[in-house]
Amino acid sequence: MKVGLESAALHGMPRKHIPPSAEHPYHVGARCLNREWFELPLPTVWSIFEDYLFVTKHEFNLRLHSFVLMSNHFHLLVSTPEANISQAMQYFMTQTSREITRLSGRINQTYGARFHRSLITNYNYYMSAYKYVYRNPVRADICQRVEDYPFSSMHGLLGAKQLFIPLEEDTLLFNRSFDESSLRWLNTSPTGEAESDVRKALRRSVFSYPRAKNNKRNRLEDERL
């Protein structure tokens, strides 16, 4: 494989045990407690996340592929060559929660639950997750193009600002014959049904599309989002 949530897990709900993977990437996400906003300006929260993504990458030998911060949650695509996703994310969420709590003066915890992860086992699935993550601000009507959202690793990849998150080489965006075709693809809106199917796939411990009507194979198995 070349590269390596919409919803958080409910409190008390047992998580299906999936052995940690050193081969395939994950989509990881977490939301604030009660879906409240981070109680700090987003530029401050972004700076905290940048710092701890840098530290966590080096402490746990992660491969970071993309990151998008929203007003009350985040999306991360990450690979773990040492099969240590739980340890890495526990550290990352503990440290970011402590720093946000310290700076905001809030009493309650920052996150509503532990992180949710979805293992992505093929490149077509990865492309769907990649597009879904970067289009999050567009779906929320915050911006019209993925590259315009300032709290996204895409914004830095394209030189709009300095990026301190140590990402892996993005061979999907910057292929050998870079001609902005990947950006056009990212900025092409999928159908609502297709986006819903990706959202459902990401909610599963292992990314998999729901079956289509009449129990047929989902067309996204063979097509790009």
Task: Tell me the average pLDDT of the chain.
Answer: 88
Burial environment of residue 44 by CB neighbours within 10 A (0 to 12, 13 to 18, 19 or more): middle
pLDDT tier at 176, thresholds 50, 70, 90: low
pLDDT tier at 134, thresholds 50, 70, 90: very high
Instruction: Using alpha carbons, select from 80, 94, 96, 71 the residue that is nearest to residue 27.
Output: 80
Every domain of the chain and the residues it spans: 26-221
Q: Are 126 and 225 in contact (CB under 8 A)?
A: no
Cα–Cα dist 213/193, whole Å: 12
In sequence order, what are the beta bridge partners of 117? 28
pLDDT tier at 2, thresholds 50, 70, 90: very low
At 133, list the tokens.
Answer: 């993550």
pTM: 0.89
Among 1.10.3330.10, 3.90.1170.40, 3.30.70.1290, 3.20.20.140, name the CATH number for the domain at 26-221.
3.30.70.1290
pLDDT tier at 7, thresholds 50, 70, 90: very low
Whether 47 has a pLDDT exceeding 50, the answer reads: yes
Q: What is the mean pLDDT of residues 75-83?
A: 98
Q: What are phi and psi of 41, to 5 degrees?
A: -60, 140
Query: What confidence score (pLDDT) does residue 121 get?
Result: 96
Query: What confidence score (pLDDT) does residue 12 get?
Result: 39
Query: What confidence score (pLDDT) does residue 1 get?
Result: 46
94-128 pLDDT, tens digit each = 999 999 999 988 777 788 888 999 999 999 999 99
Cα–Cα dist 144/67, whole Å: 18
Query: What confidence score (pLDDT) does residue 85 get?
Result: 97
9-20 pLDDT, tens digit each = 323 344 566 778
pLDDT tier at 151, thresholds 50, 70, 90: very high
Query: What confidence score (pLDDT) does residue 112 get?
Result: 83
Whether 45 has a pLDDT exceeding 90, the answer reads: yes
Query: What confidence score (pLDDT) does residue 180 get?
Result: 81
Distances (CA, A) of 32 to 42, 61, 72, 135: 13, 26, 5, 20
Q: What is the mean pLDDT of residues 148-156?
A: 95
Query: What confidence score (pLDDT) does residue 111 get?
Result: 87
Q: How would you label 122-161 residue by residue, b for 16+ Cβ within 10 Å and e otherwise?
A: eeebbbbbbbbbbbbbbeeeeeeebbbbbbbbbbbbbeee
